[in-house]
Amino acid sequence: QVRLVESGGGLVQAGGSLRLNCAASGTIVSFNAMVWYRQAPGKQRELVAALTSTVSTNYADSVKGRLTISRANAKNTVYLQMHSLKPEDKAVYYCNARMLTSHYWGQGTQVTVSS
C-alpha cells in the first residue's frame, strides 16, 4: 500500500511563497507520474502540476511561471514550490501518485492566500 503525506501548507500573503512536500512510502521513481492537484471550495479538483518518470513536467496554465514541481529521489519526496501566490490559489492541495492504472492520494494540505 502506497502512503502519501503532504505538508507545507499554511497562510501566506498575496505575492508570497510556500513549498509543499509530498513524502511517499514507496520509491517515487517507480511511479509513472507524481501529480499535484488542488480543490477550491465549491470547485472541482484540478491538476496543477505533474512530473513523469521521464522527468517531463506539465503545468496548468494558471500556474505556469509561478509553481515548480520537482522531486528528491533519495528522500522519496515530491515538492511543489509556489511563488507569487494569488488569492485564487487558495485551495486544498493533494499529492497523487500513479502506477499503471492505480492512483494513490494523500490527505491534502490547506493553502490560504490573503489579499
Residue 88 CB contacts under 8 Å (≥ 6 apart), including other chains: 40, 62, 113
**Computed over its alpha carbons, how large is the radius of gyration of the chain?**
13
How many residues make up the chain in this entry?
115
Give residue-wise pLDDT tens across range 42-63: 999 999 999 999 889 999 999 9
Rounded-to-integer distance, Cα 33 and Cα 38, Å: 16
Rounded-to-integer distance, Cα 26 and Cα 30, Å: 8
Give residue-wise pLDDT tens across range 8-53: 999 999 999 999 999 998 787 788 999 999 999 999 999 999 999 9
